[in-house]
Structure 1
């Protein structure tokens, strides 16, 4: 709290103090009318403000910060178009179920309907993308509503919340004493894994459900454990690993679940994914939804007879899927209970179990096939040759391993198969919504949330283009971020059209998928004082990785890829 000699507190300062009291320590955004003073007040109250060029990138940063830390990621925008741009981050948080708060200034309430500067019914605009949306119509409401959005975004299934701060409310004032009394009502949020509160305020796990789940797995012939970023958010890695190692059941992570148990673990079924999901008869799904990423849990990718055990913090999710066993609860608490249940009456498939041997043999065969492609040096680069060099360079760093940010159709697809995750919450990618443009925002959030880790982005040139200007933000804050751009001249690749097939008055335009060939993305980083590299051979790439990883300063490596190396839609042909 600031000096008690202050006689009046305005809405900007009251809001800043409310957020600080609620436990918010970082804020991301773009300032301007009417929120610049609020941003400055937040800094004075001990909140670090990371200023971006674009609200979309700032919103992606806020959502990823919420995921990595369990704290509400706060995005601040101006009114009207700033709020609209911020919806990208808010909706991303909702779909990925990450805790985030969008705070936007808005027009003067007295001028509503008159065509005020950047006027918009922002409450109506955000409601489809938020768990709750509230508006401070008077300065006295600010502390209560700050407490509401901060606590709502982390409660139950996490998600995005919205707070509207009208211009006139930000300019209203209160006596210091009254403001201090109002701030007493602000409740600091408590993350689910906070020390001293092992339950995180969550309800107790049903022992009957735990017993039923273990009994189903015990009786299975081909059991499988699947886990996702919900388990990562809940810090469930120890329980998951203990359960897998006690029972000997193979496991399959979703992309952002990778690393909860190391990809190198002998029970990892990632390289045998199709076989594992196609033949499993009982599947424990922890912190992952049976959506498109898991083929909806339906045939033909899954067996028609498969039985699912779903663990989710949302009762509505379990009711929607109607699994064989549904367990509502925090993934960490559930897995701890599962481990206790198994220890009381142990069972283990063992390495010689037919199912374990079958999964392992298929995984080893697929790894061997991919290794042949990885070890073959191809210049001009395909996707595999540079990806293998990057993988080896990352693994050589040891622990703590870098946080890997990945986006782009082919780049993300190949990277998911090649780049190895050995520690939890070290992979950020397009996520549940398949969102492109998250890269630089995620990089900045990761560097702020985990300052002891290097952040490495491996992006396609298309994905990079959404947020490339934010390399200036990386340089401005001197964040340990190395951006690697796979430059193949376009979306999926350069112009591959047969000239004889191109007709119409605009036949001389570039293809819809193509960019400027040989774009010098590395010079964008150099323009702001970072280090840029242009590479096209294994030796050049190895040098750039060694130097940039050692320096731990802003760098961009522009990797020239054969424009014919990519394929449309990666592995999503059935959607196109």
Structure 2
């Protein structure tokens, strides 16, 4: 009720707060809550309790979960609808399930209480704490019906003007798009509402960079290219951040932008830019639709390019006159995204057999799993390969969870030993770049043999690898497992190797446990992340965790474990890009609203995209932001004495002796007040107890929250784990 006078006026009367709950007193004087007054279904004046309908639905032998809710109705104002999850017995009813459930409910309730619409779904939308909220059901099943829903309303896709806007919206829906991210203005403002009209959610951002990071992450999380919508000219330039980020991280993203009218090209038109040329270095495909009839084909080509081979960015340019032009009679929309995606390729059988022989002959094998394997949804085959062959497994930061951290031979806690000791490394969906130390000594053994599994390896990675298996990660994992059949694995001589890794892991966990056992004040990273980890462990479903910032991200990777589910960790990625956090969080919350999203943000990283707090609050997204506030970049003044003195002398000489240290922020920064300014939940904490309480409240709310955590400025190191890249002169 904070900053909401209308809600306060409605709820407070006569000094009493009216909760809006229904209830009854039983004979012994106990109050039993039976529901919410606002959830009553008002069917032409008849008040229907949804809980009563729930009970009737759940009494059906084939129903595992059910929720009744009010659906809009032209005649009665509201009528009863329901969403149902079937158990195995219910699934055997097939297409007759809905009518069978209705007949069953009719034996227990009056006819007017029988649901007129029943939606069969695999999962009911829930909050992060597992609570079903009826008020979300209309949006989930009627306003935005799920594919395959039975008995629901359908969208009238022919109700809008048949122009370029409508052709784009209809084509995107056919391609499987359900959420678009962006910033609107001339000439694409109308497109956002047209997207909504055909059942596509449009998330309106404050900045194209953050929207681009959201679209990139959405493509990775969903398996369908994320879509970013921008205006022309500067909008496209701002979007290059997200487009290039998607390209370097190999995530599928399609940028869709308006451009100046075709007849004004070269005349200095409003926001004129050769946008196709501008984006080409950061894309796999860049094309322009020069007529409405070309839009479906250009979009299809962009989607195919974004997901084929190594995923990446694609661009579609639509001039403003094409957007507004009427469409020719019946342009066929492109096929669904599944049809646009190429088949998952297998590696040549001879190459697989040779790699299997090399692996079987290894003395110290290692399985390395990258985010490319996570994108490929290869967790099933890779888990089977790891456990079937008894391979030690190491996940990269975003590859973790493909093989769970709880796997018997997980080497995540013994990374240095695993890299330095391996004689054969089987690398799935990861590049031998700086994050894997280029595959070179001294981090790796000088004679290590790499077997690289990649759908489209780089020339350099292929050159330094002993074998390259070109193919889909999941398919190749299955091929290798088949090729190893009949081979005695794990080999007896591997026991010493796996025992050494296990001992190193146990020692690392013991050391980490001792670090986490301490409670510090002011807070350090260990204490803070221990409290966060304990809070996340109480959730019914593993959350998606976003982490960015130098020390914040590095410590979060180490402490927020175990990771048992793939694609539940997002960080700054291949470039170490700062500013991605809030866009990522919005992508997560819109792609999987039933999963809690927690963004762990350094205060410097948060500053790149902090205004997207308003976006999160405006859409009521289930996002908890935790800001590690140490007062600056890295925290504290970490310059050498000579540099510090020279800087002070130079500033004094030009009359600016009072300038702050370049890495310092305002000492009284309160990021929680930013959330409050937009009507969201914001709280500042400084102790472990305060943080634990704030997290309990935030996660239970199922809505947007921001927690500002004061951290000891001296708790971290410069640039996190890559501080060696930042040259520092020697002290004298």
Q: Which moved more, 1:316-325 or 1:19-28?
A: 316-325
State the match for 1:105 in structure 2: 258
- With over 3 angstroms needed to count, the CA separation of the structure-2 counterparts of 1:191 and 1:438, relative to structure 1, is farther
RMSD between aligned alpha carbons? 1.9
- Matches of 2:567 and 2:230, distance apart in 1: 28
Name which of 171, 176, 182 aligns with 1:18. Answer: 171
Do the aligned partners of 1:220 and 1:281 also contact (CA within 8 Å) in 2? yes
Which whole-Å CA distance do the structure 2 matches of 1:402 and 1:333 have between them? 28
Separation in 1, partners of 2:157, 2:217: 34
Moved over 6 A (4+): none
Summarize the Cα distance change of 1:230–1:126 in structure 2 as closer, same or farther, 3 Å threshold: same
Q: Post-superposition shift, 1:496?
A: 5.3
Does residue 1:266 correspond to 2:374, yes or no?
no
Q: Shift of residue 191 of structure 1?
A: 7.8
The verdict on how the C-alpha distance between 1:517 and 1:319 changes in structure 2, with shifts beyond 3 A counting, is closer
Per-residue CA deviation, residues 173-211 of structure 1 (Å, 9 max, x unaligned), is 234xx1x2x225x2322189x9xxxxx612333222222
Q: Helix, strand or coil for the counterpart of 1:305?
A: coil
Separation of aligned partners in 2, 1:208 and 1:284: 17
Tell which has more relative contact order, 1 or 2 (C-alpha 8 A, sep 6+).
Answer: 1
Q: How does 1:130-279 map to 2 (within 5 A)?
A: 130-175=283-328, 178=329, 180=330, 182-184=331-333, 186-190=334-338, 201-279=343-421
What 5-or-longer segments of structure 1 have no aligned partner?
195-199
Is residue 503 from structure 1 mapped to residue 649 from structure 2 by the alignment? yes
Q: Quick one: distance in 1 between partners of 2:376 and 2:309?
A: 11
Counterpart of 1:197?
A: none
**1:267-306 paired onto structure 2 within 5 Å:** 267-306=409-448
State the shift of 1:318 in Å. 7.6
TM-score by length of 1: 0.94
1:30 matched residue in structure 2: 183
Matched, 1:85 2:238: yes
Q: Distance in 2 between matches of 1:121 and 1:286?
A: 38
**Aligned to 2:315, what secondary structure does the other structure show?**
strand
| Paired positions, count | 563
Q: Deviations over 1:389-431 (max 9, x none)?
A: 1112112324x20000000000001111111112111000001
Q: Distance in 2 between matches of 1:97 and 1:227?
A: 15
| 3-state SS, counterpart of residue 394 of structure 2 | strand
User: What SS does the aligned partner of 1:266 have?
Assistant: coil
Deviation at 1:569, TM superposition (A): 1.0
Larger CA deviation: 71-80 vs 511-520:
511-520
Give the 3-state SS of the residue equivalent to 1:183 in structure 2: coil
Q: CA deviation at 1:301?
A: 1.1
Structure of larger gyration radius = 2
Contact 1:29 1:59 in 2 (8 A): yes
Is the CA contact (8 Å cut-off) linking 2:157 and 2:170 kept in structure 1?
A: no
* Partners of 1:93 and 1:100 within 8 A in 2: yes
CA contact (8 A) 1:494 1:515 kept: no
Deviation (angstroms), 1:474: 0.9
2:327 match: secondary structure: strand
1:409 pairs, out of 511, 531, 550, with: 550
Q: Does 1:529 find its partner at 2:679?
A: yes
Q: Which residue in 2 is equivalent to 1:563?
A: 713
1:6-64 CA-partner distances (Å, limit 9, x unpaired): 7x622111222122222222110001000011121111112111111100000000000
Q: Give the distance between the partners of 2:477 and 2:322, measured in 1 at CA.
A: 46
Name the CA distance, whole Å, in 2 between partners of 1:209 and 1:157: 20
- Structure 1 residue 322: Cα displacement: 4.2
C-alpha distance in structure 1 between counterparts of 2:493 and 2:192, whole Å = 57
